[in-house]
Structure 1
Amino acid sequence: MSASSTAVLDGTRVLVTGGTSGLGRAMAQALVQAGARVALTSRDAQRAQATAAELGAGAVGIELDVRDPGSVSAAVDRAYAALDGLDLLVNNAGIGMRTVNPRFLTDPQPFWDVTPAGFRDVLETKATGTFLVARAVVPRMLGAGGGRVVTISMNDQTMTRRGFVPYGPSGAAVEALARVMAADLAGTAVTSNILLPGGASATGMIPDGTADELRGHLLDPAVMGAPIVWLASPDAAGVHDERIVARDFGEWLAARGKNDV
């Protein structure tokens, strides 16, 4: 399958956390268009339901605060009830640097000026949230005989960029978590992979007033569509512990095909 072709997912059941905007919405939309049934989440139930209605009959909106174990348990139960199971979990929910520094690109803030509350909120949403949702879903997948987990990460440079506490550390933590999950799941019927855009994307997390020159280089969130559809498709059966850069997905897939020959 090429990066430009469309996989027919034919009812594949997917949970996308943080699916109402940015990368999450782009992935949910691509999955629905490819035939998947998608439960997408937001802390705001009305926003989740409105987004699902916009994406079409294949989508359902669910309220979820990934930081709260009780909310996670209830939301996963609702997703399983609505979709009659899950084949793919996309751990995407996260919040950006704007929440701790609205001018993070033009006026980087040193880590010692970040508030403890701001640090915790970003880390708990991305890293703890990924852990809690995977912890709730993966045992069910193992019991059902299979499933797939895709964790949404970021560039290595972003993880260590000046002024990027706590966003960078949250990405490093979630990527390490994804690799540990892959190690724990080795030899099982559940796979774990990492997907990242490959650059800054036009997700609404870029500060107001950012130069037009920079905005012109932002990736369209739709770049996540082809790789997430492929990862949900039969073509990705057995693919495990891979780190896929969406921007370079076509080249990655071509190289993989050559290596398989």
Structure 2
Amino acid sequence: MNAFDLTGRRALVTGGAQGLGEGMARALAAAGASVVIGDLQTDAAQSVATSLGDGHGAVHLDVTDESSWVAALESTTSTLGGLDVLVNNAGIEITGLMSEVEVDDIRRQLDVNVLGTALGIKHGLRTMRPGGAGGSGGTIISVASVAATIAFPGIAIYSATKSAIDRMTRVAAMEAGKLGYGVRVNCIYPGLVPTAMGAGLASDMAELGLFGSADEAVEAVVGLTPSGRLGEVRDMADAVVFLASDAARFVNGIGLPVDGGMGM
């Protein structure tokens, strides 16, 4: 059996209606997993699920709301018959200089990126551990960022939230191991990908006066990347498939850089 084959695995991907999350959902499905898309954009999530074919689904999910998590996981386990893979992908980025940062922007990023991921880990563990609705172990994969490892201007708060995801990942992995949950917990550090969020970040950098143009901001990122290019959605999606698969069966509690060397 191919170690990357996910046939029979059941997965929930948050923020899966577009961008990196959609790419991750499609890659998991292509590897054989049954996938539920969790997103605030319920219609868009259903559209992605429908395009994946039979055996997949969508559910409304506000990652900042614990009751929404409970309902989404109940729906997911009912639809799929359990849960083996949770991808905490939902996140936001609000660009701002430290000298000008807005309190509401700080709180919003903390709510979505930190609280949302913490709730995902919490309820993923509760679902997959013995006695949970899944109850047979599994894997949780959260999406951090290369921003957690470098000092790039304009994204201090975003960087802080992604660093928090790394720390939560490592502690959760240790706790899950100590308590015999049978759940691996990892995260990935994506580099800049030209999704809507990535393109918006480059434009914001120019508007803040940090770079002469959005293209100049992108060139700066490429210049810091030994691989000499921006990331692609499939780069991040393939990393998620790896961490979800038996090929990563002894990979636990790590932050996997998928950044072309930018964060080294």
- Separation in 2 of the partners of 1:168 and 1:213? 17
Q: Which amino acid aligns with 1:210?
A: A
Post-superposition offset of 1:69: 0.9
Return the match for 2:152 from 149, 155, 161.
161
- Summarize deviations over 1:45-70 as a string: whole Å, max 9, x none: 11211121223324311110000111
Aligned to 2:18: 21
Aligned to 2:109: 122
How many equivalent residue pairs? 235
Q: Does 1:214 align with 2:207?
A: no
- Separation in 2 of the partners of 1:212 and 1:222? 24
Structure 2: 5+ residue stretches without partners:
204-212, 223-228
Q: Does 1:48 align with 2:45?
A: yes
TM-score under structure 2 length normalisation: 0.81
- 1:40-189 counterparts in 2 under 5 A? 40-97=37-94, 101=95, 109-143=96-130, 144-156=135-147, 160-187=151-178, 188=180, 189=182
Which stretch of structure 1 is more off in the superposition, 78-87 or 151-160?
151-160
Q: Which amino acid aligns with 1:25?
A: E
Structure 1: 5+ residue stretches without partners:
102-108, 250-261
Which stretch of structure 1 is more off in the superposition, 153-162 or 229-238?
153-162
Paired residues of 1:24 and 1:93 also in contact (CA < 8 A): yes
TM-score under structure 1 length normalisation: 0.82
Aligned to 1:203: 195
Compute the RMSD of aligned alpha carbons: 2.4
- Separation in 1 of the partners of 2:154 and 2:258? 25
- Separation in 2 of the partners of 1:170 and 1:30? 26
Post-superposition offset of 1:214: 2.3
Paired residues of 1:13 and 1:37 also in contact (CA < 8 A): yes
Which stretch of structure 1 is more off in the superposition, 211-220 or 52-61?
211-220
Q: Which amino acid aligns with 1:127?
A: V
- Separation in 1 of the partners of 2:151 and 2:162? 10
Aligned to 2:238: 226
Q: Which runs of 4+ in 1 moved over 3 A?
A: 156-160
User: Percent identity between the aligned chains?
Assistant: 31
**Cα distance 1:235–1:111, how it changes in 2: closer, same or farther (>3 A)?**
same
